[in-house]
Each structure stands twice: as C-alpha cells, then as structure tokens.
Amino acid sequence: MTSGIDAKEAPVSFRPGELEVTGPGTGHLIGSRCGSCGAHYFPRRQACARCLSPEMETVPLSAEGTLYTYTVVRQSIPVFEVPYVLGYVDLPEGVRLMSQIAGCDPDDVRIGMPLVLSIEPFGEDEDGNELTGYRFRPATTEESHD
C-alpha cells in the first residue's frame, strides 16, 4: 500500500466506473457478475457474453491475481512517464485485466508471479488535481520500493 497521501479531501478515482476508492490507499475494482451463470467481467457489461442474460450485478473484484504476461513500455503517450511495466493480470474470478506493475525491478518481473492490487496516485485531472488509480504489486515483496 502507498502511504503519504494527504487525505484532507477524499481521494478521487481516475475512472469511477471501474475503480471505487473508499479512502486513501483503499478501494476495489468494480466488475459485473452474471446473475444467471456466474461469469465475471471487467469492466462492467450490460449483458453476459456467455449466456446473454441481462441480469448483471455490480460486484467488487478480488485484489489478488497472477501475472499472465508483461512488457516494459519504453515509448508511450506524454501523460505516462516511461519506462513502466505493463501486464495482464488473471484474477481468481476468471477475469483478465491490464494493469501497470509497480514495486518491482523490471528485471525481476516473472510470468506467473502473484500480485496484489494497490490503490495509489495515478495522474491528474485537467485542473491539476491528483487522481487515484490502481497498479498491481508483487504479493511477496518484503520491502516496498517507494
């Protein structure tokens, strides 16, 4: 978890439809669960691709996952400072999502490594106010590298 957020004002999610921020450094990803067959989706969907049921329930997603694959992005658009590690993370619900991977030297990132969700500062809005987003970090690091 990231510390040091000045919590005078409630932190603001960078994507309120996808990440609920409940306090400094706390929150969860928001997904959909099919009320008919139980399939999970991220981001939320209006109908289930497996059974076409429209009965989709909004649910918090697991904060733990494993790394399916990754890259070190060395050229990106200006709002992202390079290099950064980008990966696909598999959640136990059967959801794969893309996330930056932080708290780990790029040389130490490995396919299959266990990860945990981290709610942390993630860019700014047009007025320069800090936004809160998410990254995944190695689940087993003894020391955080902030």
Partner 1 sequence: MTDVYVLGAGMTQFGKHPDRRSDDLGADAVREAIDDAGIDARRIEAAYCGHVFQGMVTGQRILAQLGLAGLPLSNVENACSSGATAVREASLAIRAGEHDVVVAVGTEHLTSRFRGALTPDPDDPEAAVGATMPGVYAMRARRYMEETGMTREQLALIPVKNKHNASLNPLAQFRKPVTVEDVLESRPIADPLNLLDCSPVTDGAAAVVLASGEAAKQLGNGRAIRLAASALRTGVVETEPTSMTFEPLTHMTATDAYERAGIGPGDVNMAEVHDCFSIAEVLRVEGLGLFPQGKYPAAVEAGEADLGGRLPVNPSGGLLGKGHPLGATGVAQVVEIVRQLRGEGGDRQIPDAKVGLAHCRGGKAVGIEGAACTVQILVR
Residues near 108 by beta carbon (within 8 Å), at least 6 away in sequence: 138
d(CA 141, CA 115): 10
Nearer CB in complex with partner 1: 7/79: 79
- Residue 118: which of Zn ion, partner 1, none does it interact with, CB under 5 to 8 A by kind? none
C-beta of 10 vs 37, nearer to partner 1: 37
Say if CB 145 and CB 138 are below 8 A apart.
Answer: no
Host H or E run for residue 95: strand 95-101
- The partner in contact with residue 20, picked from partner 1, Zn ion, none with C-beta cut-offs of 5 to 8 angstroms by kind, is none
Q: CB 106 → partner 1: shortest distance, Å?
A: 8
Among 51, 72, 82, 111, binds Zn ion (CB under 5 A): 51
By CB under 5 A, how many residues form the interface with Zn ion?
8
Binder of residue 10, out of Zn ion, partner 1, none (CB less than 5 to 8 A by kind): none
The residues, ordered by sequence, that sit 6+ positions from 117 with a Cβ below 8 Å of its Cβ are 28, 29, 63, 64, 65, 134, 136
How far from 142 is each of 79, 114, 145, CA to CA, in Å? 30, 14, 10
Question: Least distance (Å) from partner 1 to the CB of residue 43?
Answer: 5
> Least distance (Å) from partner 1 to the CB of residue 72?
4
Query: In the chain, at which residue ranges do the beta strands (DSSP E only) sit?
Result: 19-23, 26-34, 40-41, 56-60, 64-73, 84-91, 95-101, 114-124, 130-138
With CB under 5 A as the contact rule, the residue among 29, 30, 48, 117 that binds Zn ion is 48
Q: Which residues bind partner 1 (CB under 8 A)?
A: 14-15, 18, 39, 41-43, 45, 48-50, 68-77, 80, 84, 86-88, 90, 94-96, 98-100, 106, 111, 133-134
